[in-house]
Amino acid sequence: MMRLTPDQSSHVRRTPLVDFTFDGTGVSGHDGESLAVALMRAGHLHLRDAPEDGGARGLFCCMGLCQECVVRIDGMVVESCRSTVAQGLAVTSLRRQS
């Protein structure tokens, strides 16, 4: 397949990989990148349960408006789309049975 635009992927500079946990499972992400993106890339799409019916919730607006992506870090509930990855971060979901 022919690309219509030049492939610039080799020019993208990434920060070093760091390790953190999500519900006790090891995850890697690039230092300073969006926590939501690192979790999504690792296959963690179900971040919390809806309080009304327990339905799966996850990344939606990607800009801090909907609160669908909230997780817990150090006891605080934060939007994963507005949080950044750092070495040793311990992230937990807001799932009823996690």
- Contacts (Cβ under 8 Å, ≥6 apart) of 26: 19, 20
Nearer of residues 18 and 35 to ligand FES, judged by Cβ: 35
CB of 45 to ligand FES, least distance (A): 12
| CA-to-CA dists, residue 17 to 2, 14, 31, 98, angstroms | 32, 8, 6, 26
By the rule CB under 6 A, 73 interacts with ligand FES: no
How many chain residues bind ligand FES (CB under 6 A)? 12
Alpha-carbon span 60 to 64, nearest angstrom: 9
The interface with ligand FES within residues 32-61 (CB under 6 A) comprises: 59-61
Residues that bind ligand FES (CB under 6 A): 59-62, 64-69, 79, 81
